[in-house]
Structure 1
Amino acid sequence: MFYTDGRLQYPVRVEKADPQFARALQQAIGGVEGEIRVAMQYFFQACGARGNPKFRDLLMNTAAEELGHIEMLATAVAMNLEGAPLSEKEAVAADPIGGAVLGGLNLKNLLSSGLSAMPVDSDGVPFDMSHIYASGNIAADMTANIAAESTGRVLAVRLYNMTNDPGMKDMLSFLIARDSMHQNQWMAALEELGGAKGAFPIPNSFPQEKENTDFSYAFLGFQADGSPPVPGRWSEGPSVDGKGTFSATPMTPLGQKPVLGPAKPGGGAQREQM
């Protein structure tokens, strides 16, 4: 169950409306790095979380927080679009030359939502939920969440550097701080799950002796001249999960050339394929 009291999670103020920045903020709402993505990712991970219930609680609380971030950003988009009367924006939008006055306004915000935010990215492309990762494996999900918060913080920092509006910088400084916390909380959850040596390789429930262990910790090089790959921490020394030793080797073909059977009659192939 979710509750709301009608107030924003953190103050949102705009000192000078900026339609172009409103468009940029849409990426933080409906972009692949945005708040819809993480809110739905944590929500569905929570709904499918099995095992210790504290992980479900962790995920659901953070999902609820991210819904509040969507509300904040949607308010910021609307406030940045309110810098001129609707009639004026409509008149300018109708003029291909004068359209530049809108300063990069996404016309979808004007034509489809009446100067309000939408579940779209900065180009007006709807978020289609294809970047929601909820695997049912708690360690895999926590790992995906670290990446989600990392790219989200990168985006928030870029937005912070795009604006000189004190109110927008204040809001974004809050969101950046929350991204810092979320990165750390997901790493802390992984630590509780055993860290690199306990949780990995994921899933840790599969016996490693059943995999082809010749390739479990080998970094493979695919240089055309057969030279070894560039060395790094990933190619020598103990593996990060503590269960093997890294090595590096040029890869040579181990399989056969594929030879497929003839095409099926009635499948639309040429006679020569049958």
Structure 2
Amino acid sequence: MFRHQKELQYEVKVERPDPMLARRVQEVLGGQFGEMTVMMQYLFQGFNCRGEEKYKDMLMDIGTEEIGHVEMLCSLISQLLDGASPEDQAKAAKDPATAAIMGGIDPQHLLVSGLGGMPTNSNGVPWNGSYIVASGNLLADMRANLHAESQGRLQVARLYHMTKDEGVRATFRKMLARDRYHQYQWMAAIEELEEKNGVVVPATFPREAEEEAQTEAYEFWNLSEGEESGEGPWATGSAPDGTGDFVYVTKPVPKGQIPCPKIPSTVLHHDLDKKTK
């Protein structure tokens, strides 16, 4: 059960309207790594969690918090759009650089949402359910969550430097602080799960099934010009699970055959000439 409370999680109060910034904020609302994505990702992971209750409870707690972040950003966008008009859009687009980069005020804020936030990114592309990861494997999902929070916090930090509005910045600071904690949280969960089951996903896949391919698990193939990649810890030393040592292959060679697909039926219309003996 969900229950809406009228107060926002943190105060959202801008100093002045800024329709151009409103368009940019759409990215951290409805973009690939926006609040809508982490909200849906954590909630679906929680809905479908079959592991220990503490993991489900954590996912539901944070997913519900993210619903509040979506509401905060919608309020922020609405305040940034206060008083916006078609004339403002035309004025903003007069500057060649602004017109080329941003195209003026987002016309959908005027035409579609009536000066409100939308479930889209900063280019107006609708939010997509394929952005979320909810595999049912806790370690895989927690790693995806850390990635999502890392990208999301990066984008908010970039937005922070795109405005001098102290009210907007205050909202962003709260979000940045929460995103930092969420990274800590996923790191802690990842560490605990790795200690339980190992660092490789899925841990339940039998090691003996890979015996014939063991060398493939430790070789780093140098497939670009130069050998600088050999200087990293991914190319030397032991694997994180201690099962073997990395090998840097300076000049890797193909180990497979040349593909030779059969000529398809002519009714498929590939327009291929059949080979003749």
Same fold, judged at TM 0.5 (above)? yes
Could you tell me how far apart the structure 2 residues matched to 1:187 and 1:153 are?
Answer: 15
Change (3 A) 1:59 1:100: farther
Q: Deviations over 1:234-269 (max 9, x none)?
A: 111111222221111132111111001121242122
1:117 aligns with 2:117: yes
The one-letter code matched in structure 2 to 1:199 is G
Residue 241 of structure 1 corresponds to 241
Deviation at 1:16, TM superposition (A): 1.1
How far residue 270 of structure 1 moved from its aligned partner, in angstroms, is 2.3
1:106 maps to which residue?
Answer: 106
CA distance in 2, matches of 1:271, 1:243: 49
SS in 2 for 1:162: coil
Report SS of the residue matched to 1:64.
helix
Whole-Å Cα distance in 1 between the matches of residues 129 and 274 of structure 2?
40
1:251 aligns with 252
1:224 shift after superposition: 6.5
1:152 positional shift: 0.6
Distance in 1 (alpha carbons) for counterparts of 2:111 and 2:49: 40
Tell me the CA shift for residue 8 of structure 1.
0.5
Is contact 1:198-1:241 (8 Å) kept? no
* Partner AA of 2:264 in structure 1: A
Q: Any conservation in 1 of the 2:88–2:105 contact (CA below 8 Å)?
A: no
Cα gap change, 1:229/1:75 in structure 2, threshold over 3 Å: closer, same or farther? closer
2:86 to 84, 90, 112: 90
Report the CA distance between 1:5 and its aligned residue. Answer: 1.4
- Is residue 169 of structure 2 the alignment partner of residue 160 of structure 1? no
Equivalent residue for 1:210? 209
What amino acid is the match of 2:132?
Answer: I
Give how far 1:160 is off: 1.0
In structure 1, the residue matched to 2:223 is 222
8 Å CA contact 1:121, 1:127 repeated in 2: yes
C-alpha contact (below 8 Å) 1:29/1:120 kept by paired residues: yes
Distance 1:18 1:259 in 2: 59
Which amino acid in the other structure matches residue 146 of structure 1? L
The Cα of 1:208 is off from its aligned counterpart by: 2.1
Once the two structures are aligned, what percentage of the paired residues are identical?
39
The answer on 1:270 being equivalent to 2:276 is no
Deviations 1:134-165 (A, max 9, x none): 11110000001110000011011111111111
1:66 is aligned to 66
Alpha-carbon distance between aligned partners in 2 of 1:255 and 1:98, rounded to the nearest angstrom? 58
Report the aligned-residue RMSD.
Answer: 2.2
Q: How far apart are the structure 2 equivalents of 1:38 and 1:145?
A: 8
Residue type matched to 1:209 in 2? E
Cα distance in 1, alignment partners of residues 238 and 222 from structure 2: 19
Instruction: Say how many residue pairs are matched.
Output: 266
Of the structure 1 ranges 247-256 and 141-150, higher mean CA displacement relative to structure 2 is found in 247-256
Call closer, same or farther: CA 1:229–1:175 in 2, change over 3 Å.
closer
Q: What is the identity, as a one-letter code, of the residue corresponding to 1:235?
A: A
Change (3 A) 1:216 1:14: same
Q: Which residue of 2 aligns with 1:52?
A: 52
Query: Following superposition of structure 1 onto structure 2, how do residues 22-33 of structure 1 map, counting pairs within 5 Å?
Result: 22-33=22-33
Classify 1:252/1:113 alpha carbon distance in 2 versus 1 (closer, same or farther; 3 Å): same
101-110 vs 211-220, which moves further? 101-110
Question: Contact conserved, 1:222 with 1:229, CA < 8 A, in 2?
Answer: no
Separation in structure 2 between the aligned mates of residue 148 and residue 81 of structure 1, nearest angstrom: 28
CA contact (8 A) 1:12 1:171 kept: yes
Q: CA deviation at 1:6?
A: 1.3
Report the secondary structure of 2:267's partner residue: coil
1:220–1:79 distance in 2 versus 1, CA, 3 Å: same
Give 3-state SS (helix, strand or coil) of 1:238's partner: coil
Paired residue secondary structure (1:73): helix
What's the offset of the Cα at 1:232?
1.1
Normalised to the residue count of structure 2, the TM-score between the two structures is: 0.89
CA 1:272 to 1:238, structure 2 compared with 1: closer, same or farther past 3 Å? same
Q: What is residue 191 of structure 2 aligned with on the other side?
A: 191
